[in-house]
Chain A
């Protein structure tokens, strides 16, 4: 090819490609695409979360006897979730009929506390600390990102998904994913780093909701004692280490209780009215 025609060919290519590359999508169109992507991700997360939540309910049984206790757990949980939750999720809180003190989080916002845990906590802030810890597992996708690793989606896959109107990418892997999720909850746990990170998040969440950010500390100490006779130590890092890490975080961040006596009184009254040990 001669130089001149080649020059004009390149110039034409630049004229055609340049504007196409520099075109930015309309902001409303971009938002709509982002929402569709988010909806698809949340849909997958809920699909997995529902399956795991249903198995936890099958394993421990749903506690339904004390309606006031169920409402109370939901009120404290919803208070935290309203301020700190992922806006795209609807968090659900329920009680499991087990005397072992424990709490669980499933992808998509399903959070469970056992009857034993409700007997272990001594005030509303402590319950908020536990629920905040579980909300952090959901928000940070501690389980979901482990059992459903994020993968690059090829152009052809995106096209196929668009044609199938966003059909789930979980597909035939669901049974295996759910088994792995249950193994995490019942056997292996999330691992030290994620537990420590959730403790730290619980302190920030409780503080931002108006609860005592230090309240999880005595719960961890009581759980340490309780773990000697329960399966809790199997799925959680050593409590001494966890307590020390949490104390250091509270100190680094100047986190202290700022609850006034009058607010403490209100919380104490409603806690005692609902969560009497003999009522559970």
Chain B
């Protein structure tokens, strides 16, 4: 190798080894288990947002390291994304759900009538398989369970 090329390579940054994949707990809480099965004893319990280093992936179960402990956690409770709540996600971004919802909300009347009519027409013409009901959807979206009602419901039956 020519000395100039060698010098160039030496000047370029060298990665500090291959890092284990970091994933974040999405569930409110999730156990890191001694074995790769749900019935196994818990080594430790993690809360939503905790990070783990993934050492091995085997189907539903990932072998992970948390601080100085190793164990298994279901991949169902992990994601490469840091958990972000729906409200926080809407607040934090220009491209937000809130903005999208406002856009949808303001165009709701037009959508419900125009698109509904178009959908009716498309159904009649055999171009649309199913007729949409945006008014029912809006009712579903508006329905809310108060937080204290949910808390009581869970507490009564000892649910997590």
Contacts and interface: CB of A to CB of B under 8 A. Distances in A.
Interface of A: 3, 6-7, 10-11, 13-15, 17-18, 21-22, 31-32, 34-36, 38-40, 42-43, 46-47, 50-51, 53-59, 61-62, 64, 70-71, 74-75, 78-79, 82-84, 86-90, 92, 94, 110, 124, 136, 139-140, 165-166, 179, 182-183, 186, 200-201, 203-205, 207-211, 213, 252-256, 260, 263, 266-267, 270
Contacts of A7: 3-4, 7
B77 to A, nearest CB: 8
B89 A88 contact: yes
Nearest to B141: A92
Contacts, number: 196
B12 interface: yes
Contact of A208 (B39, B137, B153, B160): B160
Nearest to A92: B140
Given A21-B12, A58-B132, A87 B137 contact: no
8 contacts: A36-B94, A55-B132, A57-B137, A64-B139, A75-B150, A84-B27, A254-B38, A255-B39
Task: Kindly name the residue among A55, A140, A207 whose own CB sees the greatest number of chain B CB atoms within 10 A.
Answer: A55
B100 A21 contact: no
Interface string B122-151: 000000111111101101110101000110
A200 B79 CA distance: 18
B92 interface: yes
Contacts of B143: 70, 74, 92, 94
A57 B11 contact: no
Contacts of B89: 35, 38-39, 42, 88
Task: Kindly name the residue among A54, A74, A124 whose own CB sees the greatest number of chain B CB atoms within 10 A.
Answer: A54
Nearest to A20: B13
Contacts of B113: none
B96 interface: yes
B86 A166 contact: no
A34 B30 contact: no
Given A263-B158, A266-B157, 15 more contacts: A3-B4, A38-B84, A57-B140, A58-B133, A62-B139, A62-B140, A82-B28, A86-B79, A90-B86, A166-B95, A204-B74, A205-B76, A207-B38, A209-B160, A211-B159
A205 B141 CA distance: 24
B41 to A, nearest CB: 11
Given A88-B89, A201-B76, A254 B4 contact: no
B37 A10 contact: no
B12 A75 contact: no
B46 interface: no
A267 B157 contact: yes
A182 B129 CA distance: 8
Nearest to B40: A254
B93 interface: yes
B95 A165 contact: yes
A21 B11 CA distance: 11
Contacts of A84: 27, 76-77
Given A18-B11, A87-B26, A252 B97 contact: no
A39 B82 contact: no
B1 interface: no
Contacts of B129: 55, 179, 182-183, 186
A13 B9 CA distance: 11
A59 B8 contact: no
A124 B153 CA distance: 12
Contacts of B93: 35-36, 39
B156 interface: yes
Nearest to B98: A39
Contacts of B114: none
B66 interface: no
Given A3-B4, A83-B160, A266-B157, A253 B37 contact: yes
A166 B94 contact: yes
Contacts of B37: 252-254
